[in-house]
């Protein structure tokens, strides 16, 4: 069974797969996405070593390689972590534009990757304040295609009640940020049709989600979330670009 067939199969098996809402894009969308992908593709990287200096993250995305094709981590999850620089890569894209990325690691080496230099600020990160939350909350973020620069469609903290799910907190953040959301079904049969008008359709691509960095094997409509969880919704064209393989 080839990858496209597997992807389509996962789309239909909503209750049992992490790739909730994954299906094929409409042909017109696919052409647009391919055009963007070709123009923003990294064609050359020039490297140089950097002295080891402390930085902290303000935003941005960590990629596994300097060719920026696979996401490793999101900066918003590591604002209290200090990172150290090791290398610099000047990235040149097919459209002629260039950008500078740094390869950094956390002090314990567990979080590392290439991140746009302007997403970092010099100096160690401040330790997170030790406070007892007055309400039950989770962090939610929604990111679009990597080929379009991995845009953030919505991000923030939402309050939850008993019975909250990965889908219900998606509804909350979309409503709070004024982001379009279309779906069908409920509970274990919930199906995501589009977010921010990014639709699943007739070509490869769809919406998947993680909770605390892991891909659940249940539908988002039935996957419970709890205070302190981090829920991430991401558009994937090719399952591997988000670290998930069908």
CA distance to 143, 149, 152, 210, per residue, from 179 (Å): 12, 18, 11, 19
- Relative to beta strand 71-74, strand 61-63 is antiparallel
Q: What is the mean pLDDT of the chain?
A: 82
Residue-level pLDDT at 128: 67
Residue-level pLDDT at 26: 33
Query: Which of the two residues, 29 and 238, has the higher pLDDT score?
Result: 238
CA distance 83 to 101: 14
For 8-59, the pLDDT digits (tens) are: 333 333 333 344 443 323 333 333 344 456 888 999 999 999 999 999 998 8
Average pLDDT over residues 150-171: 95
Q: Please give the order of strands across the beta sheet that includes 181-184.
A: 181-184, 191-195, 198-199
Residue-level pLDDT at 76: 85
Give the confidence band of 237 by pLDDT, cuts at 50, 70, 90: confident
State the CB neighbour count (10 A cutoff) for residue 52.
10
* Sign of the alpha-carbon torsion through 96, 100, 101, 103: positive
Residue-level pLDDT at 210: 93
Average pLDDT over residues 211-233: 93
Spatial contact of 211 and 231, defined as CB atoms under 8 Å apart: yes
- 0.85 surpassed by pTM: no
Spatial contact of 193 and 201, defined as CB atoms under 8 Å apart: no
């Amino acid at each position: 069974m080839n990858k496209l067939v597997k992807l389509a199969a996962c789309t239909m098996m909503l209750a049992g797969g992490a790739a909730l809402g994954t299906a094929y894009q409409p042909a017109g969308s696919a052409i647009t996405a391919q055009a963007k992908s070709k123009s923003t593709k990294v064609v050359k990287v020039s490297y140089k070593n950097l002295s080891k200096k402390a930085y902290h993250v303000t935003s941005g995305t960590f990629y596994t390689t300097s060719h920026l094709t696979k996401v490793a981590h999101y900066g918003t999850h590591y604002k209290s972590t200090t990172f150290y620089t090791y290398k610099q890569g000047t990235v040149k894209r097919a459209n002629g534009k260039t950008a500078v990325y740094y390869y950094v690691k956390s002090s314990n080496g567990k979080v590392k990757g290439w991140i746009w230099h302007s997403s970092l600020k010099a100096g160690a990160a401040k330790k997170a304040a030790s406070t007892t939350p007055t309400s039950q909350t989770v962090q939610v973020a929604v990111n679009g295609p990597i080929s379009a620069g991995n845009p953030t469609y919505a991000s923030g903290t939402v309050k939850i009640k008993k019975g909250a799910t990965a889908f219900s907190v998606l509804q909350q953040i979309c409503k709070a940020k004024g982001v379009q959301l279309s779906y069908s079904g409920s509970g274990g049969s919930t199906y995501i049709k589009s977010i921010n008008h990014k639709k699943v359709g007739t070509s490869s691509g769809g919406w998947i989600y993680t909770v605390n960095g892991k891909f659940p094997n249940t539908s988002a409509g039935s996957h419970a979330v709890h205070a302190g969880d981090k829920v991430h919704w991401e558009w994937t064209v090719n399952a591997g670009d988000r670290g998930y393989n069908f």
